[in-house]
A and B are shown apart, each in its own frame.
Chain A
């Protein structure tokens, strides 16, 4: 890896870098407590990691949860109150699975605009048992309600449609999918913050119950309780604070799709029609990654590590292609070569991924950046990828949300 655009303390990137002073998480699991507790534990861990006093934070950005009632919708204020009101400006953002990245994006915009100099970003969730489900009531105007009412189409059903399509179009096999789980579970076994910390074999994946053909229970991520937090600052604040060579966020992509969409996406019952307007050159997921690369002034060849949203094993392979780690259809081959495992060309999901964490929606995109921060600092312990200098996250949520964050050191 050369250091062309990445010199520590040097250029602040195309749009300007922000420093990651602190990262902290509450362990993922099913703890049976509230999201506020998880979020404040993560926040205090991030503040302690940064060595920043909570009272010096000038802005708090909360990633919302829709499962905590009103306090969840005003997550930023909820966390600020729980930590002790101290007058900081506050924001709360919701963007489904990309909520955490949008919270980081909001913090970054405030830092780059000079509206704040050190910002706390927090996302936390307490997940229900079983399938995610829509809000209650009779709401035929809500596509999320309609897909359950009319089709009974759960999230895993969509993951399964993508997986079957890959098997037919690209020749992926169930063994390839299992290999993703085996790889990620091995990493999760090394991560004290992960919910599942046990190695998994291909035979165990194959023996698990089919949830939505062709995907089995161990191909699909669980829903978890968890929280993640970051302390972000301007480069000037970081220098004053004595952070000599902090990890930096160089890009935050939160672009929306381009009409007409051509990939059936949650919670939709149909794609757009491409009869009147031809589709864009790139799919939505590809465009999320491309915007991040462009903003950061880097390409896939510059990456040391990646954290991608493996809602299912098959989706991880899709992300390899959408991130440009390999050509379309070559994801399974990249995996089989070992390129995405530790020691490979571009290790993916060194944290263990969603396979080991389960999904805590508003926390997940923040947790991805926590892992990259530790990897780039060289403090990831048994999971450490030697010499990691550049990392990327990728994530996609319902209703046209996606995110990708580029982190450098």
Chain B
């Protein structure tokens, strides 16, 4: 069955395989980087910038912290109430160049037992949920060297 692949949020990430990147914006006046993207105003309080360019974020970072969700989150998170709940990991990742921490789900199969603070992870394409006509795509963090 063919479903349309649609990003869960438009313009937050792009690319396939090794070319996959989270997309932020950078203020052309002061260089401040934003993710989630700011497209209208720079939020640096010392900058009047209104011109922001799309920039890919670093593809790899290091785990700042991690957890999992043992209970089904409420809507608007999409999950099938008919199926038993399967916990997924949440990983907060520090990007060195951007000096920021970005949260994401761990790739399928990654458990908290696989993770350590400081471990290197990469942003990879992932699937958040599927419905009749659509595969909702997202980003996942996956420990480097793990292909699960």
Chain A positions within 8 Å of B, measured between CB atoms, are: 130-131, 133-134, 136, 138, 140, 143, 145-154, 157, 160-162, 164-165, 168-169, 209-215, 259-260, 262, 264, 268-277
Contacts and interface: CB of A to CB of B under 8 A. Distances in A.
B127 interface: no
A269 B92 CA distance: 9
A136 B76 CA distance: 8
A270 B102 contact: yes
B34 A157 contact: no
A213 B70 CA distance: 8
B103 to A, nearest CB: 5
A270 B69 contact: no
Interface of B: 8-9, 24, 27, 30-36, 43-46, 64-71, 73-79, 88, 90, 92, 97-105, 112, 116-118, 128, 138
A344 B30 CA distance: 49
A151 B76 contact: no
Given A165-B117, A270-B101, A148 B77 contact: yes
Binding site of B, secondary structure by majority: helix, strand, loop or mixed? loop
Which 3 A-B residue pairs are closest in the complex by CB-CB distance? A160-B67, A152-B73, A274-B99
Given A209-B70, A273-B34, 16 more contacts: A138-B76, A147-B103, A148-B73, A151-B77, A151-B90, A152-B73, A153-B69, A153-B90, A164-B67, A213-B67, A259-B44, A264-B101, A269-B36, A273-B98, A276-B27, A276-B33
Contact of B44 (A152, A160, A164, A276): A276
B32 A161 contact: no
11 contacts: A133-B75, A146-B9, A152-B73, A152-B77, A153-B69, A157-B67, A168-B65, A259-B44, A264-B103, A276-B32, A276-B33
B139 to A, nearest CB: 9
Nearest to A162: B65
A212 B43 CA distance: 32
Contacts of B116: 168
B46 A277 contact: yes
A277 B65 contact: no
B96 to A, nearest CB: 10
B147 to A, nearest CB: 23
Contacts of A133: 74-75
A264 B63 CA distance: 13
Contacts of B74: 130-131, 133, 148, 154
Contacts of A130: 74
B33 A149 contact: no
Given A151-B90, A161-B67, A259-B44, A273 B32 contact: yes
* Among A134, A145, A161: residue with most chain B CB under 10 A: A161
